[in-house]
A and B are shown apart, each in its own frame.
Chain A
Amino acid sequence: MATHFLGDTAVLTGRTMRHVTRSLDTIITTVITPIAMMLMFVYVFGGAIDTGPIQYVDFLLPGILLITIASGIAYTAFRLFTDMRSGIFERFQSMPIARSGVLWAHVLTSLVANMISLVVVVGVAVLIGFRSGAGPLAWLGVAGILLLFTLALTWIAVIPGLSATSIEGASAFSYPLIFLPFLSSAFVPTETMPGPVRWFAENQPVTSIVNTIRDLFAGQPVGDDIWTALAWCVGVLVVAYVFAMVTYRRKIS
């Protein structure tokens, strides 16, 4: 069984990737909200926000990227939910294949689809003036953190994807995740926030991830933030994976 795992997962990933490439509107709707938000903040609110010496678009982009991922994984849940409801998930589970390959195919597709969305958003940011002095290593670091964040959120998305009873239920979980960057250092420096809000903003995962990416983009040395960011990502990943597996086991037995 294990010998087929890679082959089966590749075949199934090819299938879900076709779902992405044949409904490019999902990529467009994934990126349209973050891009609109970026334009609004840069051209409307940004002027009123004091980010010190750095350009506002440079300040803003890391948060926008996280929002892109949060809205992108809603489609992961949606695709998985559709498979569950149409019965094709059961068809695969009743076939002589590596069963977990079905889930992994969705996870890998989620990673690829989100990377495409991120590239589009970064492209638009460059068009409106985003510049980075980051070297290849720093870019690699940014890509790595974003990939890890996507993976963690994807496993969160698997849970409603497997267990939801309606399409709305399958994708609603992503709203709080999209909202989370607003309560962080993504749009405004946390120093301007009142006490309890500031405390929350400074201690939630998004802030450390945003700060790390921002430092990497600026070509500055990253502080302890990167360890906090990685710890959050890995922590969320492990917890989400465990819960996703529990949900999965419950579904197939």
Chain B
Amino acid sequence: MAAGTSEPKRGLRQYVEIVTGPIEDKRRWWQYKARMKRLPVNYRTAVDALQRYLLIFGPADGGSVTSMFEDLADLFEQSAANGTSVRAIVGDDPVEFVEMFLRNYPELDRQGAGTVGQGHRSCRGSRIVTKERVDIQMRVDQARGSAIRVQGLEKSYKELQVLRGVDFDVARGSVFALLGSNGAGKTTVVKILSTLLKADAGTAAVNGFDVATQAADVRESISLTGQFAAVDEILSGRENLVLVARLRHLENPGAIADDLLDRFSLTDAGARKVSTYSGGMRRRLDIAMSLIGNPSVIFLDEPTAGLDPEARIEVWETVKGLAGRGTTVLLTTQYLEEAEQLADRIAILHQGRIIVNGTLVELKQLLPPAKVEYVEKQPSLEDVFFAVVGDAGKDRTT
């Protein structure tokens, strides 16, 4: 049995235990929420939709609710035993899954229809009540649709027009690179998306929340890693992580910090003041701080600016790791190579507009056809660097 399949099962077991208690108990609800964050997205959405259904209609008969979730737990356990994935059970449409599931519990649906009553049109049979369906659909859109949606964004600093109508969408769980030269407005876009700056015109939504009107929800969904490693130099690496964990109101900030130090190979340096760190270590700590609380969207503003080649590759590995975990990443960069290495989609920001937006392959098709030329290849400074450092490193270790 794969390790990955036992994860949702455990999550669900805990969930079933929680849900059998009184649902009005706020603390339990938050505990549940915290656990949900660790589950795969489509599974989470399905269970979340069920939970919301129960919250709205209320479990009149605790027994049926319990059995419903126990059934669900069994379903997932079976799948874990068969080695099938969560996606195989939930499918691509969590709404459908919830509907299918509720079909087996008509008493819940009737009860729901009765509770909601006059104001809402309840569907016949085992269909979910309209309002609730819209509600679930909205959450599914949030889970499946764009993590970031930017439309007609404009921003000027006094006379200088930095953004002249920027549009782009970033799919959930993808890595999106905003490529542009210095002063192209990349940082301005990131600042608007992270609620640090207000746009003059246009709209922007992150995780389904409008950056202007739902700024607090946006901040709940994101993490910003700015252009300069925003770490506290006077504190130690560990203290920096603990600080962020406490500000995010998480339990066990110390354990979270130790875990991240370990993941980012900073355990040995953890107790040292950050002012003694190298540029690469600072960047790693910076990104580690951004991961606390598992935000669903991470902004990386020129994550490798000012780093030496070795540190740059370290950061690249980190970003690739993030993408693997299903986090949406928007990164800005001046280097095409970096975008190539990391991004699923690349948009080029030039003079305040997106002039190209596509996958690497699509971008390459825009280039004139390749010509064959014979050029003597001089080793680049980077090749020299790795030749010297790489060998020296091997000598010492072997």
Contacts and interface: CB of A to CB of B under 8 A. Distances in A.
A103 to B, nearest CB: 15
B381 to A, nearest CB: 29
A131 B19 CA distance: 69
A1 B216 CA distance: 8
Interface in A63-117: 86-88, 90-97
Interface string B150-174: 0000000000000000000000000
A87 B196 contact: no
Contacts of A96: 216, 219-220, 248
Interface string B230-261: 11111100010001101111000000000000
A15 B216 contact: no
Contacts of B231: 86, 88
Interface residues of A, number: 24
A97 B250 CA distance: 12
Given A1-B216, A94-B196, A87 B228 contact: yes
Interface stretch (A18-26, A161-169, A174-182): A18-26
B243 A90 contact: no
B249 A88 contact: no
A54 interface: no
A12 interface: yes
A95 B244 CA distance: 9
Query: Is the contact region of chain A dominated by helix, strand, or loop, or is it mixed?
Result: helix
A11 B198 CA distance: 28
Interface string A6-47: 011001100100110011000000000000000000000000
B232 A12 contact: no
A81 B87 CA distance: 49
B6 interface: no
Contacts of A97: 247-248
A253 interface: yes
Contacts of B235: 15, 18
Contacts of B228: 86-87
A8 B216 CA distance: 15
A23 B243 CA distance: 19
Contact of B226 (A12, A19, A90, A253): A90
B298 to A, nearest CB: 11
Given A86-B233, A87-B228, A92 B196 contact: no
Contacts of B220: 96
A148 B39 CA distance: 52
Contacts of B233: 86
A48 interface: no
For B224, B227, B235, B248, the residue with the greatest tally of chain A CB atoms inside 10 Å of its CB is B224
A11 B195 CA distance: 22
B219 A88 contact: no
B311 to A, nearest CB: 18
Contact of B234 (A11, A23, A91): A23
B209 to A, nearest CB: 12
A95 B195 CA distance: 10
Given A15-B235, A94-B196, A96-B220, A87 B247 contact: no
A176 B101 CA distance: 74
A127 interface: no
Contact of B222 (A7, A88, A94): A94
Given A4-B249, A11-B247, A90 B230 contact: yes
B194 interface: yes
A11 B224 contact: no
A27 to B, nearest CB: 14
B229 interface: yes
Contacts of B197: 253
A253 B198 CA distance: 5
Contacts of A88: 230-232
A137 interface: no
Contacts of B244: 95
A200 B18 CA distance: 72
Interface of A: 1, 4, 7-8, 11-12, 15, 18-19, 22-23, 86-88, 90-97, 252-253
Given A15-B232, A86-B230, A96-B219, 10 more contacts: A1-B216, A4-B249, A12-B247, A87-B226, A94-B196, A94-B219, A94-B223, A95-B219, A95-B244, A252-B196
20 contacts: A11-B247, A18-B234, A18-B235, A86-B228, A86-B232, A86-B233, A87-B226, A87-B229, A87-B230, A88-B231, A90-B226, A90-B230, A91-B289, A92-B247, A94-B194, A94-B196, A95-B219, A95-B248, A96-B220, A97-B247
Q: Sort A-B residue pairs by CB-CB distance and give the 7 closest, nearest first.
A: A87-B230, A94-B224, A91-B230, A87-B226, A94-B194, A96-B220, A96-B219
